[in-house]
Amino acid sequence: MLKGKVIALGITGGIAAYKGAEIASRLKKLGADVHCVMTQSATEFITPLTLRTLTSNPVTVSMFQEPKIWNVEHIGLADAIDAYLVAPATANIIGKVANGIADDFLSTTIMATKSPVIFAPAMNVNMLENSIYQENVEKLKKHGYMFIEPAEGMLACGYTGKGKLEEPEKIVNQLIGILQVEKDLMGKKVLVTAGPTMEKIDPVRYITNHSSGKMGYSIAEEAARRGAEVTLVSGKTNLTAPAGVKVINIESALEMYEKVVENYEDSDIVIKSAAVADYRPKKAADQKIKKKDGDMQILLERNPDILAYLGENKGNKILVGFAAETDDIKENAYKKVNKKNLDFIVANDILEAGAGFKGDTNKVNLYFSDGHEVNLPLMSKKEVAQKIIDEILQLIKK
């Protein structure tokens, strides 16, 4: 499965370093040519001999040791690899790379490679929650570095919480997924909308909804990963812009309408996953509305129907909508597909456990304009994003 792939495996000085040996062994068994790089601290936990024996390749620790295989030293390794996996990754190596420090063979080769770098961190939960560590991770993600999130559980330090190295089998599977990504959306322009809109009542109050934006951000990330040029029009979220995606931030449905229309003509594929308010206050007050005795009413007026506009001006574009329903899902979904001229709609029952707005998972059904449907099981929003892109590719092929 990994035959012909050259993988650098960086191992740093954490208690989970011994699991690095299992990762090396699994990669080798799957056919990869594995080259281990250890930090000096890592050698306190396991020996280079173990890794050398498991991989049948020399192990590099020092920047200045006699090169055994990489005749142009660090640059040779950095150029040759298909991916650089760092597992376990300490807070220290993440901090170093995030700040451009290259003071040993591992950090230098990470900085010198143009291949994907994937960190699988493992550390004490307090280190993981440290805001400096979190900032470093966000910064690295922005620069395209990837992360395999640590798991929760009993940590070697005696704490219970997040920070355990993900299981070696899962780490290897995720690496395989990354290496096997086909750039099948190369040359396509994709427009994605995500997140909630905010409809102003007065300078301090607004009407919004529970959308986290996670579904739309996952779709934008997946489309970019598969080679598309992606524009993401996003309402206010707490999410970091996916690597390589152009993000246009908006607040209200009117602003969303404007930006989507502006970018529509130039797009080949449009995926509307934002939760756009149907109504807005007819008049937003300039001053904070003062409390009075008795009830008050806010008169609402219709926002423009963005999806309807896109459907009317569809041309050859692929147009995908989203529906968050609480009842008669299929019937309502098909009504929307027909009325809005969509290629398909992604419908979720927001009352179902694990589906809908806030979480990391979703359970959706896809209803197509030709009448067929695809019912997906509960899965992560990243996996749903992959399925949506796969279905779009099927439509392009037709």
Ligand X SMILES: Cc1cc2nc3c(=O)[nH]c(=O)nc-3n(C[C@H](O)[C@H](O)[C@H](O)COP(=O)(O)O)c2cc1C
Indicate which residues carry an active-site annotation: 157
Among 92, 108, 109, 211, binds ligand X (CB under 6 A): 92
Report the C-alpha gap between 360 and 380 in whole angstroms: 6
Q: Which is nearer to ligand X, 117 or 384 (CB)?
A: 117
By CB under 6 A, is residue 63 in contact with ligand X? no
Q: Which is nearer to ligand X, 40 or 313 (CB)?
A: 40
Q: From the CB of residue 275, how many other CB atoms can be counted at a distance below 10 Å?
A: 22
Quote the least distance from Cβ 268 to ligand X, whole Å: 44
The burial of 371, by beta-carbon neighbours within 10 Å (0-12 exposed, 13-18 middle, 19 or more buried), is given as exposed
By the 8 A CB rule, do 190 and 267 touch?
Answer: yes
User: Which range of residues in 36-44, 112-120, 180-188, 190-198 is near ligand X by CB under 6 A?
Assistant: 36-44
Stretch of 75-83, 90-98, 285-293, 299-307 contacting ligand X, by CB under 6 A: 90-98
Closest CA to 346 of 391, 286, 301, 279: 391
Phi/psi at 355 (5° precision):
-105, 165
Under 8 Å between Cβ of 23 and 35: no
190 is a site residue for ligand X (CB under 6 A): no
Q: Does 15 interact with ligand X (rule: CB under 6 A)? A: yes
In angstroms, give the least distance from the CB of 19 to ligand X. 11
Contacting ligand X (CB under 6 A), which of 90, 136, 218, 348?
90
The answer for 339, left when phi > 0, alpha when psi is -120 to 50, beta otherwise, is alpha
- Conformation bin of residue 188: beta by default, left when phi > 0, alpha when psi is -120 to 50: beta
Between 99 and 375, name the residue whose CB sits nearer to ligand X: 99
Of the candidate spans 7-15, 110-118, 204-212, 233-241, the one that interacts with ligand X by CB under 6 A turns out to be 7-15
The binder of ligand X chosen from 41, 43, 209, 249 (CB under 6 A): 41
Distance of CA 11 to the CA centre of its chain: 24
Pick the piece of the chain touching ligand X (CB under 6 A) from 119-127, 173-181, 336-344, 362-370. Answer: 119-127
Q: How far apart are CA 73 and CA 125, in angstroms?
A: 36
Binding segment toward ligand X, per CB under 6 A, in 38-46, 183-191, 251-259, 289-297 = 38-46
User: How far apart (Å, rounded) are the C-alpha atoms in residues 236 and 194?
Assistant: 9
Task: Compute the least distance from the CB of residue 42 to ligand X, in Å.
Answer: 5
User: Quick one: which of 27, 122, 220, 347 contacts ligand X (CB under 6 A)?
Assistant: 122
**Contact by Cβ (8 Å): 323, 333:** yes
| Contact status: 9 vs ligand X (CB under 6 A) | no
Tally of CB atoms within 10 A around 146:
18
Rule CB under 6 A: choose which of 9, 36, 98, 123 binds ligand X.
123
> Is the CB of 152 or the CB of 182 nearer to ligand X?
152
Binding residues for ligand X, total number by CB under 6 A = 15
Count the Cβ atoms, other than its own, within 10 Å of residue 53. Answer: 13
Of 199-258, binders to ligand X (CB under 6 A) are none
* Contact set with ligand X (CB under 6 A): 12-16, 39, 41-42, 90-93, 122-123, 127
